[in-house]
Amino acid sequence: MSVSEVAPPKTYSAAAAGALVAYYTTGALVSRRPTVLGRLRALRDSDQFEQLPDDLQQRIREIVADEG
């Protein structure tokens, strides 16, 4: 079993989730774009997602859907 398999799940505040959305949409982290997208997908699928503001949830859904 690797370290990544036993690591606790990441937690995201609304500010952190908003920063991920901003990084993704502005292209500020072009080389890390796949990583940011993966984190947004993981956040969308997590229990924490419903705790985010509705507009942020919607934007994350749009980004993930667009990138299919």
pLDDT digits (tens, 9 = 90+) for 15-57: 999 999 999 999 887 888 999 999 999 999 999 999 999 999 9
Question: pTM for the full model?
Answer: 0.79
Describe the crossing of helices 14-26 and 33-44 by its angle, rounded to 10 degrees.
Answer: 140
Helix axes 33-44, 54-67, angle to 10 degrees: 120
Count CB-CB contacts under 10 A for residue 11: 10
Closest CA to 59 of 3, 49, 4, 35: 49
What 44-51 contacts at long range (C-beta under 8 Å, 24+ apart), as own/partner pairs, is: 46/9, 46/12, 48/11, 48/12, 51/14
